[in-house]
Structure 1
Amino acid sequence: MFSTYTESAEDSLFSTKPLNNNSNATAIAKHYIPGIHQLVEVKFIVEGKELINYKNFELTQSTQTHHSFTVSFSSDCLGNKETYQMEEGQELLGKNLLVSIRYKHLVDKPERFFSGVIMQVSFDQDHGNEGYLILKGNSPTILLDQAPHMQSFGGTTPVSLDDIVNEILNQGYHQNRFFQSEIKLSKGIRTAYSCQYNETAYNYLARLAAMYGEQFFYDGEILHFGELPHGGKPISLIYGRDVSQVEIRMQARHVNRDFYGYNSFNDEHLHAETETDLDVKGTLAKSSYARSKEIFKAPSLQQAPLKASTDQDVLYAQRGAIGSEGIQVFVTTGVTTIPFLYPGCVVELNMLHPNKKVSRHFTTLVITDIEHTVDALGQYTGKFKAVDAQTGYIPQAFFTMPITEQQIGIVVSNDDPEGKGRVQVQFNWQDASQQTDFIRVMSGDAGSSTAVKRNRGMVFIPEKGDQVMVGFVNNHPDRPFVLGSLFHGGTAAGGGPNNQIKSIQTRSGHTLKFTEEESIEIFDASGNCIVLDTTGKSITVFAPENILLTAKNIQFQASDNISATAGENIVLQAEHDIEQTAGSGFSLTAKDSYTQISARTSLETKEYFVTSKVGRIEATADNLQLSSSFEVEVLSTKKVKMF
C-alpha cells in the first residue's frame, strides 16, 4: 500500500525535546551556491509510511490562525491506482501528515518539518486522465477549533494559567502523541475563576493569551503559549540573492491604549501604573512607532478584557494589546527561495550594496506569515510577512469575544469565607466539580451611610439550593453576579385568580404576608403573630407564651376604652408610685381583696360608704380613733357593744 519510509523523521520531530533550529541557519549558509537556487525534496509521511509521486504542494502558515495545506498526488501514490471509490485513500482522513522539506542531493542538508491533520480527501479526474488524489488539511490546532464548548476552571480555589492551558491541550491536542506544545509563561498568573463559554478551545486559548499579554501560535512543529521563543540562530536572508520583491512598509497604528478595571472586593479602581510603551529596536520600526503615537491623539479608554484583581492584571492586558498593535507599525513582505522559514522564525534581512558584491545588515525580523509552494520538480517559492523581532510580541491570534447572556444557576454555597454576603453558583452546564468563585448578589438597595458602615439597604442572601438568575458584568464570562432568585415548579405557589397574597418568608418560616383583603401579617414558626387589619382598623398581637414590652417610658392611650384581661393573675408593680385616676367612677370587683400598706394609708373623699355582710376594724398596735367635725353615729339594728 505505502512505500516504506524510515521513522527517524517522526522520532526526531516528535521527541520529548523541541527541535533545535540552530542547525538550519548554519546549514543553509553552508550549502549556498552562488547563482543557483537549490531544488527542494518534499516527503509526505502518514503513520511512518511515505506517499509518493506528489504533483504540487502548498502550505500556508500564520501566527494568527490555523495553517492549511493542499497536496496533489498521482493516482498511484498509495501503491495501487486510486479511483473515485478511494478504496485506500479514504483511510487517510483524520490521519497525521508529516511533511519533510529539505534540499535535494546534499549531505548534511538543512531540514524542516511540518505536522498537520488531513481534513479532506478527494479524487479529481477529468478528460479521461487517471486522476489525482488530493489531500487538504490544517495544523493540529484545528482539532481545538471545530465545535464550541463550555467549561470552567477555578471557583473553589484559584487556578494558574499554566494549569488551564495544559488541561485544554490535554483534552483535544495532546491526545495525539505526535503533537508537541511548549508552555512557557512570562508571568506567574493565577485567577479565581475562568470560563470557556460557548467557544472553541482554540478561541479560548487565543483569548487567554490576549488577556494576559502572552503569545499563542503554532510554528509548524510546536504549539507555543507564553513567551515568544528565541528561535535559535537567525537565518540570514539577502535581498537580491535569497529574497526578491521586497516591500518595506511603515504604517500608522493607534498604539495609545489605556485599560481600566475594578476590584469589587476591595472597592478599588484599577489601572496600569507603569509605562506600557512597546520597546521597539529597529530603526524604521522605532520611527514608525513614534510617529503613530503622534498621529493618533484621540484617547482610547477600554475596559480591560479580563477580570482584573490588581493593577498588574490591567498592565498585562494593556501591554499585550499595545504589543500586538504596535508590532504592526513596521511590516516587511517578500518572496524567498529559502524553504525553511516558519512562523516565529527569526531572520536577518541583509541588503546587497548596489555597486558592490557585499551585503549589509538591514533589520532583524520574525516571520508571522509564510506561503510555501513546491512543484513536482522541487522548484520552491515562498512568500513571507515579517515584523520587528526584538519586541517579544507578534500579532495576536484571531479570536471572537463570547457574549455571555443571562442564565440560570443553583447556589451551592453561601458561606462566604470573607463574610461579604457572596455566594457560589453552579450553572446547568457545569459538572459536579465546577462552580463559580464567590460572586456578589444584586440588591434593590445596598451601600453604607454615616451611621451604618455595612449592609445598609436590603440584605437577602440566597439559600443553598436556591435557583438564581445570573448576569455578567460587561457580558464577560469570568464576571458573573446574581441578579435575583427564581421559583420553579417544586418551590412555587400563589398567584391565583385575584393574586391576593404577597409575602416574604425566611428559611425557618418567619413570614411577612400582605393580603389584598387589606391585612398585614407577621408571624413565625412558633406561632407568634402580629396582624394589622386594615378593614377592621385594628392590630392583633398574639404569642403562645409571653409578650414583653421594655422601654424607658410606656404609655397606653385610647380615645375610648382600654381593657386588660388575664386567665390567671394581673400584677402591677412599681419601684415608686402607682397612680390611678378616673374622671368619673372607679369600680373594683373581686372575690377577695387584700391590701397591705407598710407605712400609711390616706383616703380622702366627699362621701365614704363601706358595706359588708361581716366586718371588722382593728388596730393591733395602738389606739383606734374615730373622729368627726360633727357627730359620730354608731348604729345597729340590734345591740351596740362598746367593749
Structure 2
Amino acid sequence: MNAASPMAGNTDLVTMTIFVDGKPIPGTYQMAQMRVDKQVNRIPSAKITFFDGGASSEGFPISESANLIPGKEVEITAGYHGVETSIFKGIIVKHGIRVEDGGKSYLVISCYSKAIKMTQGRKSGYLGKTDSDIFQTLINGAGLNAAVTATTAAHDGIIRYYATDWDFLVCRAEINGQIVIADDTSVSVCKPQLDAAPDLLIGYGDAIKQFDGEIDASTQLASVTCSAWDFTEQALETGTSTEPSVNAQGNLSGVALSGVLDLPAFQLQSTAPLPATQLGAWADAQLLKSRLARLRGNVTFRGNAMPLPGKMIELAGLGARFNGTAFVSSVSHTIENGDWVTEVGFGLSPQWFVEERNDISAPPASGRTPGVPGLQIGKVRQIDQDPDGQTRVLVDVPVIGMEGNGIWARLASGYATRNGGIFFVPEIGDEVILGFLNDDPGFPIVLGSLYSGMQTPPYTADAPNTHKAIVTKAQIKISMDDVKKKLQIETPGGHIITMNDEDQTITIVDSNRNKMKFSSGGLELQSVADISIKANGAINMEAGNGIILKSDTDLNMQAINVNAKALSTFTAQGLASAELSASGQVTVRGAMVMIN
C-alpha cells in the first residue's frame, strides 16, 4: 500500500470539535489555540486555550461554567470540511486563567490521557516473575486496556522500590528493548516495529513546511557488552549485543557511523548477579537505542491525524542522507487562527528514560530535609546514657560541626538479638563510619570503626594475612595465627590459653607460671607450689600402663580404712627401715608366711 500525502484531498478549511463528556462544547466558546502532544514513553496531553473574561465583564464566564472543570472527559477531533478524526481523548486535570498586559485574558485547560493515573503515587513491592506479566498488571490496575508483547526472561522476583507505576513500567520496558505508547484508554508495550509500512509520505516541495534533522555519529556504538558479578563463580558474567535490523532511512548505517569515533565495545555494568540472558537483553536494548538515535529530527506539515508514535512515515525529497522510512517518536498537533499544523519527531533519544528524568527515584530523605550523600565520618563522644534507652552512641560529624550537641547513632552489629549477640561498643574518641537511613541526617548508624596513622591496629598486616585478633582497650586478646594455625587467649596479667595445631598442643599458663599442657605425649601439670585436688565425691584414678607416685620428701596417705590389693605381687620395701604396726591386732596371713 502506497503511503498517502497530507496534502491529498481538500485541505483548505480546517474544522475541529471539542467534546466534553461526549457533548460538543457550546459554539460561543472562542478557542485561541489548541495543542496535542503524543510521544513514545510519555503520557499524551492536550492544552486548550480559550478567550475568556475581560475587565468589562468582571468575570470569566467559561471558567465559571460547569463544562471545563477537572475530571471531565475530553475528546478532540480535527479534519477538513467537517470530516474529522479523533486526535486526543483524556480527562481535564488543570484549569487556569491567564491575564496579559494589554487586557487580553484566557482560560487554559490542560488535559491528559487517563494513563496519567499511573504517574501518581509511589509504591514498593515484590512483583511477578516476568516483566510482561508485571506490565499487564500495572496497566490493568489503572483501569486501562493493555496490549503487551510477552517477555521471555524469567526472574526469581522483581523488586520495585518506591516508584510510580508509569516510571517503573517505562524503565523495565526499555531494559527489554521495548517502548511504551499510551493512547486514549489503553497502553501498549512492544518492541519498535521498524519494518512496518509507512502511514504517510511527506515530501520536500509537497507537504513539508519545516524540517530539521541531523545525523549524529557520536551516538553510534560499534557493539555493547554488559557485565555483572556472578558470586557463584566469583567471576564476571557477560552478555554481548546483536546488531538489530532497523528502518531504512538515509544511506549511512549505524555500523559505518560507529567507525567515526572508532571506540571499543560500549560497556554497561552492574554488581547485581544478573544472568547472561538478562545481560544480553540489556546489551541489545542499548544498541537498539543507539541505532534509533542515528537520525533524529522534526518535520512539520499540513495537519493530519494519521501519524502516531511508534509508527513509520516516509520522508522524500531530502536527499540520500535523510530520505527513507523514519520512526515516529513524537507527534504534535497545533490548531490556531484556523490553521492546523502537525509536527512529527523522528528517531529516538540515545538516553535511557531514567537518565532524562531526575525525579524517578524519590529525593534523599524523602524530601523531608536535605539528604546526606554517601557515607560520613563520625567521632565518638559518649557511649552511655542514651536518653531514649536504645543502645545508641553519641557521635560528632565533622562536616556538620564538632561544637554542637552531636547526634545519637545506632550501632550496627554482625549479630544482634534479644539478650544475645555480638557486643562491641567503640571507645570515646574513635573514628567511625556512618550511614544514614533514607539519607536522612537525623538517623545515623555506626557501620564500623576506622584505623589510621593515629589509630593504629594491634598488628601489622603481612602478605600471607597471618594475624586475626580481637584486642580490647585493656589488652585482653583473642588472637589467631593462620600460618601456625594457633588460637591464643590472654589477659594483660599474663594468663594465657594457647591451642596450637602446628605442634599439636593445648597449653594453659597462669601469671604464676603454673602450667597445664595437652600434647601427643599426654597431659602435663606443672605447679610452682602445691597442687590440691579436692572432691565432694570420690576420686578415681585409672591407668593402662602403671601409676607412679614420687616425692622428694614424704608420701602420706590417710583414710578411715586403707585397702591395697595386688592382682599378682604386692611389694612394700623400705631402704632404711620398714614398720608395720597397729594399735590393735595385726594379722599376717598367706599360704606360706616367711619371716627372715
TM-score normalized by the length of structure 1: 0.61
- Counterpart for residue 181 of structure 2: 217
Rounded to whole Å, the distance in 1 between the matches of 2:314 and 2:139 is: 33
Q: Does 1:301 align with 2:277?
A: no
Q: Could you tell me which of 357, 376, 381 is aligned with 2:341?
A: 381
- Counterpart for residue 566 of structure 1: 535
In the TM superposition, what is the alpha-carbon distance from 1:307 to its structure 2 partner?
A: 4.1
- Counterpart for residue 400 of structure 2: none
- Counterpart for residue 586 of structure 2: 616
Contact 2:415 2:421 in 1 (8 A): no
Q: Could you tell me which of 326, 333, 355 is aligned with 2:291?
A: 326
In the TM superposition, what is the alpha-carbon distance from 1:566 to its structure 2 partner?
A: 0.6
- Counterpart for residue 455 of structure 1: none
Q: Could you tell me which of 167, 174, 180 is aligned with 1:203?
A: 167
- Counterpart for residue 49 of structure 2: 72
Q: CA 1:41–1:311 in structure 2 vs 1: closer, same or farther (change >3 Å)?
A: same
Rounded to whole Å, the distance in 2 between the matches of 1:98 and 1:161 is: 32
- Counterpart for residue 198 of structure 2: 234
AA paired with 2:253? Answer: S
Rounded to whole Å, the distance in 2 between the matches of 1:464 and 1:51 is: 69
Rounded to whole Å, the distance in 2 between the matches of 1:246 and 1:153 is: 46
- Counterpart for residue 579 of structure 1: 548
Rounded to whole Å, the distance in 1 between the matches of 2:341 and 2:477 is: 86
Number of aligned positions between the proteins: 468
Rounded to whole Å, the distance in 1 between the matches of 2:88 and 2:176 is: 28
In the TM superposition, what is the alpha-carbon distance from 1:211 to its structure 2 partner?
A: 3.0
Is the partner of 1:324 in helix, strand or coil? helix
- Counterpart for residue 348 of structure 1: 314
Is the partner of 1:86 in helix, strand or coil? helix
Q: Deviations over 1:443-465 (max 9, x none)?
A: xxxxxxxxxxxxxxxx9666699
In the TM superposition, what is the alpha-carbon distance from 1:515 to its structure 2 partner?
A: 9.2
In the TM superposition, what is the alpha-carbon distance from 1:115 to its structure 2 partner?
A: 2.2
Rounded to whole Å, the distance in 2 between the matches of 1:280 and 1:38 is: 37
In the TM superposition, what is the alpha-carbon distance from 1:399 to its structure 2 partner?
A: 3.8
In the TM superposition, what is the alpha-carbon distance from 1:553 to its structure 2 partner?
A: 2.4
- Counterpart for residue 229 of structure 2: 262
In the TM superposition, what is the alpha-carbon distance from 1:246 to its structure 2 partner?
A: 3.2
Contact 2:300 2:341 in 1 (8 A): yes
- Counterpart for residue 43 of structure 1: 17
Rounded to whole Å, the distance in 2 between the matches of 1:567 and 1:588 is: 18
Where does 1:97-108 land on structure 2 (aligned, <5 Å)?
97-106=74-83
Rounded to whole Å, the distance in 2 between the matches of 1:132 and 1:290 is: 52
- Counterpart for residue 83 of structure 1: 60
Root-mean-square deviation (CA), in Å?
4.7
Rounded to whole Å, the distance in 2 between the matches of 1:259 and 1:334 is: 35
Rounded to whole Å, the distance in 2 between the matches of 1:82 and 1:230 is: 52
Structure 1: 5+ residue stretches without partners = 1-21, 355-360, 408-458, 478-482, 487-512, 522-530, 541-548, 628-643
Contact 1:100 1:114 in 2 (8 A): yes
Rounded to whole Å, the distance in 2 between the matches of 1:403 and 1:130 is: 40
Q: CA 1:578–1:352 in structure 2 vs 1: closer, same or farther (change >3 Å)?
A: closer
- Counterpart for residue 32 of structure 1: 8
Contact 1:186 1:226 in 2 (8 A): no
Contact 1:206 1:396 in 2 (8 A): no
Is the partner of 2:289 in helix, strand or coil? helix
Where does 1:180-579 land on structure 2 (aligned, <5 Å)?
180-197=145-162, 199-219=163-183, 222-228=186-192, 233-239=197-203, 240-252=205-217, 253-255=219-221, 256-265=223-232, 267-272=234-239, 274-282=240-248, 284=250, 286-297=252-263, 300-304=266-270, 307-340=272-305, 341-351=307-317, 362-375=323-336, 377=338, 379-387=339-347, 396-397=352-353, 398-400=356-358, 402=361, 553-579=522-548
Is the partner of 2:525 in helix, strand or coil? coil
In the TM superposition, what is the alpha-carbon distance from 1:597 to its structure 2 partner?
A: 0.8
In the TM superposition, what is the alpha-carbon distance from 1:605 to its structure 2 partner?
A: 2.6
Is the partner of 1:569 in helix, strand or coil? coil
Rounded to whole Å, the distance in 2 between the matches of 1:625 and 1:346 is: 130
Is the partner of 2:580 in helix, strand or coil? coil
Is the partner of 2:134 in helix, strand or coil? helix
Contact 1:57 1:70 in 2 (8 A): yes
Q: CA 1:394–1:342 in structure 2 vs 1: closer, same or farther (change >3 Å)?
A: farther
TM-score normalized by the length of structure 2: 0.66
State the identity as a percent.
13
Higher relative contact order (CA 8 A, sep 6+): 1
Structure 2: 5+ residue stretches without partners = 367-412, 423-432, 440-444, 449-469, 479-488, 498-507, 509-517
Q: Deviations over 1:532-573 (max 9, x none)?
A: 886695999xxxxxxxx9987222222222211010100001
Q: CA 1:251–1:65 in structure 2 vs 1: closer, same or farther (change >3 Å)?
A: same
In the TM superposition, what is the alpha-carbon distance from 1:130 to its structure 2 partner?
A: 9.3
Is the partner of 1:372 in helix, strand or coil? strand
Rounded to whole Å, the distance in 2 between the matches of 1:317 and 1:208 is: 10
Q: Could you tell me which of 123, 126, 142 is aligned with 2:97?
A: 123
AA paired with 1:597? Answer: A
Contact 2:20 2:67 in 1 (8 A): no
Is the deviation greater in 199-208 or in 124-133? 124-133
